Structure 1
Amino acid sequence: MILSPGNIRRTALVLIGCFIVFVVWKLKGSMSDQCLDYFLRRSLIQRRDAAEVKWSHAVNSRSSLAEALAGPSHMLEADIIMRGDDPKEPIMAHPPDTNSDITLREWLEGVKTHHTGIKLDFKSLDAVSPSVALLEEVLRDWSPPVWVNADILSGPGGKARPLEPRAFLSAVTVLPTHTVLSLGWTTGWTAGTVNPGYSWQMVRAMDEICRALNHPVTFPVRAALLAKSTSQLTWLLQQSDRYTLTVWTGQSDKFTLEDLLPYRNMFDISRIYYDLPDPLRTELSMT
């Protein structure tokens, strides 16, 4: 059968359309958060529920790293700064500390023989580029989840200066596209006062920065501010399938389980992580 020029054009357009759909589907898959899939494949969690992920915090020393790796945590969170004295290199410490008994290179070498995910929290821009170079070198062909975190915008009650967004993203977006970018706001919380939530201006500014990225993005949000931010954070999550939330709390913050349940009930349970004390996280996972 001889096809007419019109049929040839229509067939070509259908094939091109199918190819575009396939490419978009592949790109969407490559940009999605693969953290839960990793832990599921190794039977480290029982279902695709981000509330099942357990966290260790401030793993900034040799002893805390050894303790965390021997424990049940799925994700290790640690802080990175540049050493205050020579030799100038990335170390694991949280300001106001300026030194540590473990460098980032040593920390990564210690982690990479385990099936534990990592979240690296950057406190200064000068530590970002050398740390990314180390990540590319030490964790080459390493499959556990890697998150890189920084506060890049001012948020409710925030007094600290955020890292400059373009400079931070320019440095970290060279990492593989399955790397999760954890991008937050500086925040504050004071007992006995009215603490504002995340405003529309804040969430729209964050989406403006993140919409063109090729990486999955999680937004660390303060648990004590969620009850006043439901509409804004709901809107933000709806802007992209690449977006998730990571709920965290300060040591003295006050909030209730009921403050968190609307988010638990409104969204797929794979889209909200709970970096919270284990009793509360476990209670949420049972709802």
Structure 2
Amino acid sequence: MANFRYFIGLIMMATAARFINGTMEDFFPDIKQNLTKITWAHAVNNQTYLDATLKNDINMIEADIVLGTLINGKTDPIPIMGHPPQNTSDLSLEGFLAQVQSFDSTSNSSKKGIKLDFKTIEVLEASKNIVRSVADKDDELPIWINADILAGPVNASTKPVNASRFLDVAKSFPKSILSLGWTTAYDSNSNGSYESSQIQEMIDVIRSHNITQEITFPVRAGLAARSLEQLTNLTESIEKSTLTIWSSDGDNVSVEDLRLLISKIGLNRTYIDVPSDLLEQLRLDDLPNSSPSRSVVGAAVWMPVLLVLAGIFQSLSLI
């Protein structure tokens, strides 16, 4: 039965496509499904720092984008690399992307992914065609599109990027990973958490915009450590989602509670981007019973079954 063989083939292809992460794990094969092994460089917003970062073994380059002008360049505002209130730079977004893409195309080992942190909706909208021109030409390069799109804990006063406009633009980058976060306010005496209402608001806005891309949720370590139930609900509600746990120097973090969260979510669904002293305290190589990935479990269960079925029908000369 040629038709049945074709049917089995389609199922196997669909299963493989559903259960294998073709972005980060393919681009960084050495992590072996352990996303906590991804390493980061932050605020790579000038040419000197970019040059240095391209020479080291960092995996992901995080950079901030604002509207401004190049030093000794045009006077009209363009997307440049910089963090507010900075509005001048020696590096444009276009130049930044071109250099990383060129590096990856010639490097045989230490390839780099990109996390672009857009500080306003206006700069994202102005950057749309620039980012899309790179993303459309390079299927492999991991490009994360990041913004804090909702107000979060604890009584955060920073204005979030407009969620609806952000997600509308983000649909222009179907192969990119969306990094969707909350604004936060936190100090050494804070004992807040991500509230269930804030989690539900994020779930609702993603579903209402029919987002199909992979999503990671950047969550602040001290708050996340007190939010196991809420963040478990979040990652279970949004398919293909991960957490990116970050922290500022001086944040009060319950290390043991954070270890429990990472163990619950799983090493294959948790990025870690924290200061080196906190990273050392987390002892990620010694987590209790880290949860297996549902995608990996699915592949392990269904692929052998399909292969056995194909073999049975082959032996019966039915295909």
Q: Specify the TM-score bucket, using the shorter chain as the normaliser.
A: 0.7 to 0.9
Q: Give the drift of 1:162.
A: 0.5
TM-score calculated relative to the size of structure 1: 0.84
**274-283 or 155-164, which moves further after superposition?**
274-283
Tell me which of 174, 179, 183 is aligned to 1:182. 179
Structure 2 equivalent of residue 62 of structure 1: 47
What RMSD over aligned residues (CA atoms) do the two structures have, in Å?
Answer: 2.6
Aligned residue runs from structure 1 range 123-272, under 5 A:
123-142=119-138, 143-157=140-154, 158-176=156-174, 178-192=175-189, 194-211=190-207, 212-272=210-270
When residues 233 and 243 of structure 1 are mapped into structure 2, their CA distance, relative to the original with a 3 A threshold, is: same
> Against the structure 1 CA distance between its residues 175 and 252, is the aligned structure 2 distance closer, same or farther, given a 3 Å change threshold?
same
Aligned partners of 1:218 and 1:245 also within 8 Å: yes
Structure 2's unaligned 5+ residue stretches are 105-110, 287-319
Deviates further, 215-224 or 255-264 = 255-264
The CA distance in 1 between the partners of 2:136 and 2:277, in whole Å, is 35
Structure 2 CA distance, aligned partners of 1:183 and 1:239?
A: 15
2:32 aligned residue: 47
In the alignment, structure 1 segments of 5+ residues that lack a partner are 1-11
Counterpart-to-counterpart distance in 2, 1:63 and 1:221: 29
Contact kept? 2:25, 2:31, Cα under 8 Å: no
Report the Cα offset of residue 138 of structure 1: 3.3
Structure 1 residue 191: deviation in Å?
Answer: 2.2
> 2 CA distance for matches of 1:200 and 1:140?
37
What residue is the counterpart of 1:104 in the other structure? 93
Q: Is the 8 A contact 1:54 1:278 kept in 2?
A: no
Contact 1:37 1:48 (C-alpha < 8 Å) held by counterparts: no
SS for the counterpart of 1:255 is coil
Following the alignment from structure 1 to structure 2, what is the Cα–Cα distance between the partners of residues 132 and 82?
13
Q: Secondary structure at the match of 1:286?
A: helix
State the distance in 1 between where 2:275 and 2:188 align: 19
Shift of 1:26: 7.1
SS at match of 1:83: strand
Report the number of matched residues.
268
2:76 partner letter? P
**Displacement after TM superposition at 1:80 (Å):** 0.5
Report the Cα distance in structure 2 between the residues aligned to 1:95 and 1:104, rounded to whole angstroms: 15
Q: Is the 8 A contact 2:135 2:176 kept in 1?
A: no
- Kindly state the Cα deviation for residue 67 of structure 1 after the two structures are TM-superposed: 1.5
- In 1, Cα distance between equivalents of 2:28 and 2:126: 29
Q: Retained in 2: the 8 A contact 1:51–1:284?
A: no
- 1:29 deviation in Å? 5.3
Runs of 4+ in 1 over 6 A off after TM superposition: 17-24
Q: Percent identity?
A: 31
Residue type matched to 1:233 in 2? Answer: L
Offset at 1:253?
Answer: 1.0
What TM-score, normalized to structure 2? 0.76
Query: Would you say the 8 A contact 1:36–1:270 is kept in 2?
Result: no
Q: Give the conservation status (yes or no) of the 8 Å contact 2:135–2:143.
A: no
1:24 & 1:181 partners in 2: Cα distance?
23
